[in-house]
């Protein structure tokens, strides 16, 4: 599993340029009553884009990810910026060795890569154990509308002059899941294109299911909102945010 996304890591940052990470920082800042000096677990940290922003705000950050290749990029980024971020390779549902953290974050639908309910519950349990009393968990997931309707409107394409992809989607085996096949074409300095392929499966659950799982693992729900706005989810919301407290 630690070989996950080995090729994908090399193009990940260019594909994430539309993600409003600064807005995520604002969400965390408000939820936690400030970031400076807080101990933060960035779970599913990828190449460390959010981790760096948290560290620049004065947080003591530990980044967790399944992919060793993603973490190589993250560590190089932290070193280049002289930021003291620690990175650890672990699956989120097997998170262990952490205690007394003030904040845990699972950003940009990383939780949706867990395909069964028990793995989601295990992740919540492990995070609950890792947080100090009063600690906050903030995460976002795809809505069922996004998995069931929007993702089914493919195929999708992308081309920024260096990276091109064709993304084909179909319903996954589980309810509210999507199976994706992506063919990437990356332009080299010689002008030739290198191809690699990725297969991804994501699954989500209804808002009420997440709420039940969170409460079952001992969290108190403070806020549920959608699409980067301080508004309750509706039937066509695409990204659902949860803010909960231990």
Whether residues 13 and 71 share a domain: the answer is yes
Tokens at 180, concatenated: 């994706």
Q: What is the pLDDT of residues 86-104, one digit of tens each?
A: 999 999 999 999 999 999 9
Q: Please indicate, yes or no, whether the overall pTM of this predicted structure exceeds 0.75.
A: yes
Q: By residue range, what is the domain housing residue 164?
A: 146-203
Q: What is the pLDDT of residues 184-235, one digit of tens each?
A: 999 989 999 999 999 999 999 999 999 999 999 999 999 999 999 999 999 9
Per DSSP, 161 falls in state S
Q: How many CB atoms lie within 10 A of CB 118?
A: 10
CB burial readout 232-243, b (16+ within 10 A) else e: ebeeebebbbbb
Sign of the dihedral through C-alpha 95, 98, 99, 102: negative
Q: What is the pLDDT of residues 19-46, one digit of tens each?
A: 999 999 999 999 999 999 999 999 999 9
Whether residues 198 and 209 share a domain: the answer is no
Asked if residue 3 belongs to a domain, the reply is no
Strand partners, 182: 167, 198
The total domain count for the chain is 2
Per DSSP, 53 falls in state H
């Amino acid at each position: 599993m630690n070989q996950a996304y080995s090729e994908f890591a090399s193009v990940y940052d260019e594909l994430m340029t539309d993600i409003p990470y600064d807005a995520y920082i604002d969400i965390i800042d408000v939820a936690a009553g400030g970031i400076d000096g807080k101990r933060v677990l960035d779970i599913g940290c990828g190449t460390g884009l959010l981790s760096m922003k948290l560290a620049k705000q004065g947080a003591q950050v530990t980044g967790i990810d399944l992919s060793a290749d993603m973490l190589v990029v993250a560590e190089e980024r932290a070193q280049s910026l002289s930021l003291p971020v620690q990175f650890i390779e672990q699956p989120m549902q097997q998170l262990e060795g952490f205690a007394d953290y003030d904040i845990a974050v699972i950003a940009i639908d990383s939780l949706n890569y867990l395909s069964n309910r028990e793995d989601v519950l295990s992740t919540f349990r492990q995070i609950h154990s890792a947080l100090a009393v009063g600690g906050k968990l903030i995460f976002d997931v795809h809505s069922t509308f996004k998995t069931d309707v929007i993702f089914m409107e493919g195929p999708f394409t992308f081309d920024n002059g260096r990276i091109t992809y064709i993304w084909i989607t179909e319903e996954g085996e589980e309810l509210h899941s999507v199976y994706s096949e992506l063919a990437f074409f990356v332009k080299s300095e010689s002008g030739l294109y290198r191809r690699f392929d990725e297969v991804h499966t994501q699954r989500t659950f209804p808002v009420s299911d997440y709420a039940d799982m969170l409460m079952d693992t001992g969290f108190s729900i403070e806020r549920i909102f959608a699409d980067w706005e301080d508004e309750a989810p509706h039937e066509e919301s695409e990204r659902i945010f949860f803010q909960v407290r231990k």
